[in-house]
Amino acid sequence: MAHRAGHIPIVFITSNYCFTGLLLQILISFVAFTTVVADGAFSASHTATVPIAAARDLRYLLYDVNPPEGFNLRRDVYIRMASLVKTLRKEGGDWVLVLPPWGRLYHWQSPNIHQMRIPWGEFFSLMSLQANVPVIEYEEFIAENGGPFIDQVLVLQNYAEGWTDGKWEEKVDERPCIEKLMYSRDKQGYYRGWFWGFEETRARNVTCVSAQGHASIMAPVLQKNITVTSVMLDRAETLLHDHYAGKDYWDTRRSMVFAKHLRLIGDDFRAKYLNSTDSTDNTVYSEDWTRMRAKLGSAKGGPYLGVHLRRKDFIWGHREDVPSLKGAVKKMHSLMKKHKLESVFVATDADGEDLKELKRLLPEMVRFEPSAEDLELLKDGGVAIIDQWICAHARHFIGTSVSTFSFRIHEEREILGFDPKTTYNRFCGDTEKECEQPTHWKIVY
Ligand SMILES: Nc1nc2c(ncn2[C@@H]2O[C@H](COP(=O)(O)OP(=O)(O)O)[C@@H](O)[C@H]2O)c(=O)[nH]1
Ligand SMILES: *[C@@H]1O[C@H](CO)[C@@H](O)[C@H](O)[C@H]1NC(C)=O
Ligand SMILES: *[C@@H]1O[C@H](CO)[C@@H](O)[C@H](O)[C@H]1NC(C)=O
Ligand SMILES: *[C@@H]1O[C@H](CO)[C@@H](O)[C@H](O)[C@H]1NC(C)=O
Ligand SMILES: [Mg+2]
């Protein structure tokens, strides 16, 4: 990571806003800070710090997701894995979840910046995650484990035969690999593979497992069939949620607090360009999520319309549930009028001609656009989070149909205590007939 000293202006090239600040310093100090305090948590004690003798049975669960999946589905898979680790721990196993480093994501294409082997602490508050379930960064695992070795990789897959008799049942069995194995043996007999860009990492054994069911169906396999210390579940998205939108889902989701420097940058932007502060908007946030319990409908939000407008692969397929730019802008204007809002904040992955066209149709839009230097520090993931954070604080929000990026904003707004009417909205395609609106998943404490 590039460290820079002194005052480097952070410039947000939004329509005609230009803004210089101390944010870079905040950023650097917080990134360093998160690493240092990674061992502390609000309430949960960190398993890895128990005395060596007692820690003999400590076991590590690692996981990875199908390469084409994006940032926000990966955040969803984390919830499933946290749930599995909770089940394992309830059954008496001393399991720790190892956080898969971020990188090489299809959408993270900003040129010339290093976007690999990114620790979770750059995007999320580790202390907050640890107050839910014991987690460690991958590099910490290497250190504790005494080297970059993973004892057993289980590549999850469906059943080759599909659902037999058309009847769905939960099951898990060791089976021959269906797809070409993404791991190959080296001269020493170890398995080499992607492993988040850590080239030294090796697996001692790789096998395929057909799994059909919720995440915790893996618990008996991990406790009984396998006795080695570190186990990685590859293609972890194969497993379903134990209980989608239940209390445990929401506990884990609430623990996924964005890293403090990203929240601060978002808050600063809100204050400067959107006349939005937590005290005026009733969105006071507690870094300690275990104490955060906003009443439904209590949040007012800043005086702006928040928009998530997904483009790229969502329009390439000519999906009928995604609007044209013209259609989207028309809807934004009507919402601004209806809710008496003069500002509109737009988060979008539009680029090139598409973005130019959007700027022409909606010259008043406010966008968070970091300079090349700031982008290098924040990375595409950090910018995505800041966009989500600003959308989460809007008086009214509208997102894109079946975008997990929009879904994560819904959840953030649910946590902040917004009236569901202001949150669960999406654009309709220009010619879409039945434009079903997103489901309200009520928070459970
Ligand atoms: N900064 C920013 N990035 C976006 C936005 N929309 C999409 N992206 C990028 O594109 C990716 C979309 O993939 P994903 O997270 O899987 O969400 P989904 O494909 O919309 O369900 C995000 O992770 C971002 O990297 C946006 O509004 N702002
Ligand atoms: C786990 O062990 C049981 C009992 O030996 C066996 O029947 C089952 O097939 C094994 N499951 C897997 C996924 O290896
Ligand atoms: C590899 O793992 C499988 C499944 O757990 C096991 O049956 C096999 O004996 C292991 N192979 C070695 C060499 O340890
Ligand atoms: C900002 O919002 C406050 C209310 O929260 C309002 O009194 C003030 O006039 C607004 N300022 C501008 C410049 O719109
Ligand atoms: Mg995606």
Beta bridge partners of 191: 185, 203
Q: What percent of the chain has pLDDT over 70?
A: 87
* Ion ligand 5: residues, Cβ under 5 Å: 70
The answer on pLDDT for 17 being more than 60 is no
- 110 vs 107, 390, 405, CA distance in Å? 9, 21, 18
Identify whether the C-beta of residue 1 lies closer than 8 Å to the C-beta of residue 31.
yes
Report the C-alpha dihedral over residues 62, 67, 69, 75, rounded to 10 degrees: 20
Which sign, positive or negative, has the C-alpha torsion 75, 81, 87, 90?
Answer: negative
pLDDT band at 196 (very low <50, low <70, confident <90, very high): very high
User: Is 88 strand, coil or helix?
Assistant: helix
Average pLDDT of the segment spanning 394-407: 98
Give the pocket of ligand 4 (CB within 6 Å). 275, 280
364 Cβ neighbours under 8 A, 6+ residues apart: 15, 343, 344
Q: What local confidence, expressed as pLDDT, does residue 2 receive?
A: 34
Q: What local confidence, expressed as pLDDT, does residue 264 receive?
A: 98
Ligand 1: does its nearest atom lie under 6 Å from the Cβ of 348? yes
Distance CA(94)–CA(273), nearest Å, equals 48
Average pLDDT, the chain: 89
Q: What is the pLDDT of residues 130-180, one digit of tens each?
A: 999 999 999 999 999 999 999 999 999 999 988 777 788 999 999 999 999
Sheet bearing 394-398, strands edge to edge:
343-348, 302-309, 394-398
The answer on pLDDT for 297 being more than 50 is yes
Pocket residue to mutate for ligand 4, from 275, 278, 366, most atoms within 8 A of Cβ: 275
The lowest-confidence range among 77-86, 316-325, 388-397 is: 316-325
Ligand nearest to the CA of 221: 2
Nearest CA residue ID for atom 4, ligand 3: 207
pLDDT band at 40 (very low <50, low <70, confident <90, very high): very low
Distance CA(398)–CA(192), nearest Å, equals 44
Identify whether the C-beta of residue 323 lies closer than 8 Å to the C-beta of residue 430.
yes
Average pLDDT of the segment spanning 341-370: 97
Conformational region of residue 244, where left means phi above 0, alpha means psi within -120 to 50, and beta covers everything else = beta
Is residue 69 flagged as an active site residue?
Answer: yes
The strand pair at 152-157 and 230-234 is best described as parallel
Q: What percent of the chain has pLDDT over 90?
A: 82
Gyration radius (Cα) of the chain, Å: 22
Q: What local confidence, expressed as pLDDT, does residue 163 receive?
A: 73
Distance CA(217)–CA(240), nearest Å, equals 10
